[in-house]
Amino acid sequence: MSDKSKEDAVKINISQEDQKEEQDEIKSREEVITEEEKPLEDMTKEELLVIIQELQEKSDRNYDLFLRAKAEMDNILKRNRKEKEDWIKFSNESLIKEILPVIDSIGMAVCHFQNEDSLQACQEGVELTLKGLLDTLEKAGLEEVKAKGESFDPNFHHAVSYQNDDSVDADVVLEDLQKGYMLNDRVIRPSMVVVSRGAAEIKAKQK
């Protein structure tokens, strides 16, 4: 909670305490009327008017406290909503700042592609740029899903086709057509893979 929110919470607590004091006063006044004063039916019109005026003034004060507390609460909710919107809007700011140098490198590599003599240098530059981009995203929690040579796991892999291969067991990933990625241990894109049928499954199909 921000310092401003804490300050607003304190103000609300103070307003609630003021309301409680006013309520205690009214209760005390009612007890006095009940215990010490004569019954209402025995009072004169003037006496009743005085009591009514006192209660009305206290009621007005309580209502004013209620309005102020409600306004303060509305302001806190609006401020918190604005802070949340700003947080969502700029939550990726630090990551984007890390990626900007990579974008600059890609831009320079594209310019060099216009010169055929520097093709090898461009290839090396693109490879270094890709490595820099992956390193930056890895710091942000991105991790590549292991696929080729691994046992097929539907939680991490999406099989697009099966291929006969009696040199490996069944359900082994033979090829990674599109790399999958995890963000902080959550799969955000599974790997698109080719999966082996295996010798036993091939023989069963042949029969």
What does the pLDDT read at residue 89?
77
**Within this chain, do residues 77 and 109 fall inside the same structural domain, yes or no?**
no
The CATH number of the domain holding residue 180 is 2.30.22.10
Whole-Å CA distances, 146 to 66, 196, 199: 60, 16, 24
**Within this chain, do residues 197 and 148 fall inside the same structural domain, yes or no?**
yes
Tokens of residue 116, six digits? 């055929």
**Within this chain, do residues 9 and 84 fall inside the same structural domain, yes or no?**
yes
Tokens of residue 89, six digits? 């809007």
Q: Tell me the pLDDT tens digit for each residue of 164-207.
A: 888 888 899 999 998 899 988 889 899 999 999 864 454 445 44
Residue 128 belongs to what domain range? 94-139
What does the pLDDT read at residue 63?
93
Mean pLDDT of the chain: 78
Question: Which pLDDT band holds residue 34 (cuts at 50, 70, 90)?
Answer: very low
**Within this chain, do residues 33 and 69 fall inside the same structural domain, yes or no?**
yes
**Within this chain, do residues 74 and 106 fall inside the same structural domain, yes or no?**
no
**Within this chain, do residues 69 and 19 fall inside the same structural domain, yes or no?**
yes
**Within this chain, do residues 150 and 79 fall inside the same structural domain, yes or no?**
no
Across 34-47, average pLDDT: 68
**Within this chain, do residues 130 and 149 fall inside the same structural domain, yes or no?**
no
Nearest-angstrom CA–CA distance, 174 and 149: 6
What does the pLDDT read at residue 202?
47
Nearest-angstrom CA–CA distance, 151 and 144: 16
Nearest-angstrom CA–CA distance, 152 and 193: 9
Domain tally for the chain? Answer: 3
Q: Tell me the pLDDT tens digit for each residue of 70-105.
A: 999 999 999 999 888 888 777 777 777 778 777 777
| Cβ-contact 160, 174 below 8 angstroms | no
**The residue type at 91:** S
Instruction: Mean pLDDT check: name the lowest of 1-10, 17-26, 171-180.
Output: 1-10
